[in-house]
Amino acid sequence: MNKSINPLKALLLCFLINIYMPGAAANTGLYVSLAPAMVEVDTDNASTRPGLIDFRLGYEFDVHQLELSIMSSLYDDNLNQLVVDIPSVNSVFYRYLPYKDTSVKIHLILGVSQVEVESSYPNEPLSTETFDGASFGVGFEEAFTAAPQLKLKLDFIRLYNGNNLNINLFSLGVSYAF
């Protein structure tokens, strides 16, 4: 793995380069979101799907959003006797809205994530692994007509794209723009 590249710095720079463009609209501000999420730990042979609670703090500027995500375990998953839990996921996402005039906003998501996976199996000691890497995905967002600051959010994100193992996130929740 190429350790000389700092993906977080690259993301921030990307965000700054994009937002300081002339003609950016005034759709700007902080927002928070909360969602129950399911993480799929996917291997060639089997998958486990523990649940998490997903809290995000973001800043929106025109068609750009920068988001800090903190997730913690809601429930573990059991495949036969294999118990898999995700104690924490920490991510930074950059979200880009290519079509800003539609009612359902589509977000292209890039970011970096750190996923902690805890597993236990009969005759095996409890083990914890941390997976770091680039994340990417797609999100959908629609504002409630009665309360435009409140939005329904749906995200599909690959948190970790490995050689023999992938970690995917599915979250459905709400966000509130201040």
At its nearest, how many Å lie between other proteins and the CB of residue 103?
Answer: 26
38 part of the interface to other proteins, by CB under 8 A: no
Sole binder of other proteins in the list 29, 124, 142, 176 (CB under 8 A): 124
7 part of the interface to other proteins, by CB under 8 A: yes
- The smaller minimum CB distance to other proteins, of residues 81 and 149, is found at 81
Please state, in angstroms and rounded to a whole number, the distance separating the CA atoms of residues 145 and 59: 22
- Report the candidate in 53, 59, 61 with the shortest Cα–Cα distance to residue 31: 59
- Report the candidate in 32, 39, 60, 64 with the shortest Cα–Cα distance to residue 118: 39
Triad 46, 48, 51: Cα angle to 5°: 165
Residues 136/129, Cβ–Cβ less than 8 Å = no
At its nearest, how many Å lie between other proteins and the CB of residue 55?
Answer: 24
138 part of the interface to other proteins, by CB under 8 A: no
Helix (H, G, I), strand (E, B) or coil at 111: strand
By the criterion CB under 8 A, which residues form the site for other proteins? 1-2, 5, 7, 10-11, 13-14, 17-18, 21, 41, 43-48, 79-82, 84, 110, 112, 117, 119, 121-124, 127, 129-131, 133-136, 158, 160-165
